[in-house]
Structure 1
Amino acid sequence: MEGSSSSSKHFILVHGLCHGAWCWYKVVTMLRSEGHRVTALDLAASGVHPARIDEVHSFEEYSQPLLDAVAEAPAGERLILVGHSFGGLSIALAMERFPEKIAVAVFVAAAVPCVGKHIGIIPELIREKAPKDMLLDSKMIPINNKQGPGTAILLGPNFLAENGYPLSPAEAMN
Structure 2
Amino acid sequence: MLQQYKHILVAIDGSYEAELAFRKAVEVAKRNHGELFLIHVVDTRAFQNVSSFDSAMVEQVTDTAKKTMEQYVATAKKNGLDDVSYAIEYGAPKVIIAKDVPKEHDVDLIMIGATGLNAVERLLIGSVTEYVTRTAVCDVLVVRTDLDNKPALNQTGKKANIQPD
TM-score by length of 1: 0.39
Which one scores higher on RCO, CA 8 angstroms, separation ≥ 6?
A: 2
User: Counting helix residues as a fraction of each chain, which structure ranks higher?
Assistant: 2
Tell which structure's C-alpha radius of gyration is larger.
1
TM-score by length of 2: 0.40
